Amino acid sequence: DVMRKMAFPIDIVFIYASGEITNIHHADPSDDQTFRGPAQYVLEVPLHYTTDNDISVGEQVGIPDEYR
């Protein structure tokens, strides 16, 4: 979805229910766009966290049972 009036940059990580990362967007507050990806979950982390930690599309994320 759209991050309206977002005042800080983030990475937006889209994750399937299986835990597979399907898409990663690097979103800056100056971007006025919609960020989309197939997902059951969306994780927002500081900008460039994914690149700084070598996290990429296709990798697996552990989803605790209490969040399923």
Per-residue model confidence as pLDDT tens digits over 14-55 = 999 999 999 999 987 776 677 778 899 999 999 999 999 999
Identify the pLDDT of residue 36: 78
pLDDT of residue 29: 75
- pTM for the full predicted model: 0.82
Band (pLDDT 50/70/90 cuts) for residue 4 is: low
The CA–CA distances, whole Å, from 36 to 4, 53, 65, 66 equal 14, 22, 25, 25
